[in-house]
Amino acid sequence: MIEARRLAICDPSNATREPLRNLLLGMDGVSLEAESNRYEYFSDVVEQYQPDTAIICLDTDPTRGLQLIAQLARSAPHMAILAVSSRSDGPFILQTLRTGAREFLPQPIQFEELQAAIDRVRTMVPSPPGTEINAAAPVMPRVSSLATSKIIAIAGSRGGIGCTSIGVNLACCLAQDKENRVVYVDLDLALGDSDVTLDIIPSYTLADIAMNIQEIDPKFLKGALSRHESGLYLLPHPMQLDDVGLIHEEHLQRLLALLRTGHTHIIVDLSKSFRPTDFTALQMADIILLVAQLELTSIRNCVRLLQSMGNVEGLSEKIYLLMNRVGADDQDISIQRAEETISRRVFFVIPNDSKAMLSSRNVGKPLIQFAPKSKACQAFIQLANVLSGKEEMPSNVYVKTKKKSGWFS
């Protein structure tokens, strides 16, 4: 068993904070819970995320940095504090340690020195209960704490396939569990409608995040999210089409990394155009739900998408095929035939329940509130249980089939 240390960092300088973040993300047995670019906000970050270890960089303002260390040493005595500075004079190092820091690291930080310092404070301050991780954990672990948050990307095999309805209803069902903290990111930048589906008028959008990307910290981000009465948090697409171009891959990387620190489930609804931001989300996702229907165009596109994603290392094994609206009167293709054609098993089925689904969208309420006993809602509840680890995750296996001369010959 390996003790997972939960860390938070405070550094107002992007030039040193980003390399530190990269070092920590590449370190085994460490979970980066939060980061802040303001000394004055870091106490709130510590109170919210309760890290085992805080790393505070002093170069921007040594006086305020030392005041922060002294304050945290009093308010969070269980937490180990590592101070970082480019100053190496003895009196300053001694002052830092006397103020309350347990370790002092010189800038630029070296990986080996940082690892050794974390190992040393590991023996000084015991981890809070429940922070151990098993090195032999299964591929699809239970999602039961912020340290094991999951990014679930929802990709459609064509337009109108039901991705937003699936994503919103799944997210709201996940949010019913008080142990979960769920956020929905609408990455359909031009034509997304999650805000309408949930009947929310948001104060901030992805465009606001992009325009303030250098200032984002957990406190800023928390204030930018809109909260639905189901408990779900929403970050919608830009309101103005002219703002779509403001959002780039690096913005999404930063956003999703921060959302991981405060949420158990991040649902990302992709666009149908597969923009660069969509591929960034696919690469960062832990699970990709590829939504299809039992009709020729959707199944053909599934084959094309799986072939294309199979060329990107690490994507194929994360893809799970979700078949929507199963049981509709106009479906002539069976699930078995679809599986043979796509060469992949269907992971989950959402039954056709068009009346409940359409009515819930028209009134702006998720099924869990509008029609909790409907067939579709019961399916979403089961899917939420699977993705939360309460029910067993089916293996993502391929179907071996003979070559066929046509799609369904």
Tell me the domain boundaries of the chain. 2-132, 146-387
**Spatial contact of 266 and 183, defined as CB atoms under 8 Å apart:** yes
**Spatial contact of 283 and 312, defined as CB atoms under 8 Å apart:** yes
Domain 146-387 has CATH 1.20.120.1200: no
pLDDT tens digits, one per residue of 326-361 = 998 878 899 999 999 999 999 999 999 999 999 999
Rounded Cα–Cα distance for residues 324 and 146 (Å) = 30
Classify the C-alpha dihedral 176-182-183-186 as positive or negative. negative
CA distances from 329 to 13, 158, 165, 321 (A): 60, 20, 20, 21
* pTM across the whole model: 0.65
Write out the chain's pLDDT in tens, 409 residues. 345 688 999 999 988 888 898 888 777 778 888 888 889 989 988 988 889 999 999 999 999 999 999 999 999 998 999 999 999 888 899 899 999 999 999 998 888 889 888 888 876 544 443 433 333 332 333 333 334 689 999 999 999 999 999 999 999 999 999 889 999 999 999 889 999 999 999 989 999 988 887 777 777 788 899 999 999 999 999 988 888 999 999 889 888 888 887 889 999 999 988 889 999 999 999 999 999 999 999 999 999 999 999 888 888 999 999 999 999 887 889 999 999 999 999 999 999 999 999 999 999 999 999 999 999 999 999 999 999 888 876 554 444 444 444 544 4
Rounded Cα–Cα distance for residues 225 and 255 (Å) = 12
pLDDT tens digits, one per residue of 275-313 = 899 999 999 999 999 999 999 999 999 999 999 998 888
Extract the tokens encoding 152.
């679930």
Matching fold, domains 2-132 and 146-387: yes
Q: Superfamily for 2-132?
A: Response regulator (3.40.50.2300)
